[in-house]
Amino acid sequence: MKTTKQIPKFNSEAEERAFWESEDSTEYVDWSKAKPIIFSKLKPSLKTISIRLPEPMLEELKLLANKRDVPYQSLLKIFLGERIEAELSTMTLRRAKA
């Protein structure tokens, strides 16, 4: 049986995230004992923001959303998510070439 280190107590989610970004979880968790689990009611953390958009842009967004039969806020999240993913992929490729 493998000996594991004790997981520290964290004061915030950000502190925990920073810890796991620099640590190897196999030193803290015996993954051979892990069992699959489904978090059926888990929802991602959301933060409400306010954003100012030019009226024509908002109207075009609403038209696009209507054509796809989705709320315009949902379509905006899709567009932002796709763009963020593309930007992060581009950054990763640039770093790999450097």
Task: Give me the DSSP letters along 39-57.
Answer: -TT-------------HHH
Per cent of the chain over pLDDT 70 is 97
The band of 39, judged by pLDDT with boundaries at 50, 70 and 90, is: confident
Answer yes or no: are the C-beta atoms of 93 and 86 closer than 8 Å: no
pLDDT of amino acid 8: 93
User: Where exactly are the structural domains of the chain?
Assistant: 13-97
Global confidence as pTM:
0.53
Q: What is the residue whose two structure tokens read 């015996």?
A: 30
C-alpha span between 34 and 25 (Å, rounded): 13
